[in-house]
Amino acid sequence: MDSNIQWYFNPYDQVQPLRQNENPQQYQPIPVVSQPPSNRVCEDIPYPIVHKLLLNDLFDFGYEGAPNIDRLVYHLNNEGRLAEETWRHLLSQAKIIFCQEPNIIFLPRGCTIVGDIHGQYYDLLTIFELGGPL
């Protein structure tokens, strides 16, 4: 790799920055769809949820309580997205909980441990369905 290449931040693609000779105008943000199109090729497939799940919609009784898990799973299962405020709050709450956990957890017999799903959200949902209600 050439060490003389200068890299610039690409606001539309945070995986790969712009090189010095690339034009930042050629990258356009993906438009957010506010209304589902009326002429779809596959009309039997439901259109993804177009609104982002807000913090007020996720929590029923204030932000310090538990989120409505059924609402969150439904929203993500239907390809909905989270508002930045929402996912930041969820991550900060998860961090607080994980920091309080011990390194070793003793589990009773009859439990199933699942790991290594590599970000496959729909596989995780299937595992939860096979495991029964929470």
Q: Domain limits of the chain?
A: 49-102+118-126
Tens of pLDDT along 57-81?
888 877 777 888 889 989 988 888 9
User: Which of 7, 31, 2, 28 shows the shortest CA–CA distance to 18?
Assistant: 7
Half-sphere exposure of 19 (CA within 13 A, CB side): 7
| Token pair of 23 as six digits | 């034009």
Structure confidence at residue 98 as a pLDDT band (50, 70, 90): confident
Structure confidence at residue 2 as a pLDDT band (50, 70, 90): very low
User: According to the model, what pLDDT value does residue 89 have?
Assistant: 92
Mean pLDDT of 119-129: 82
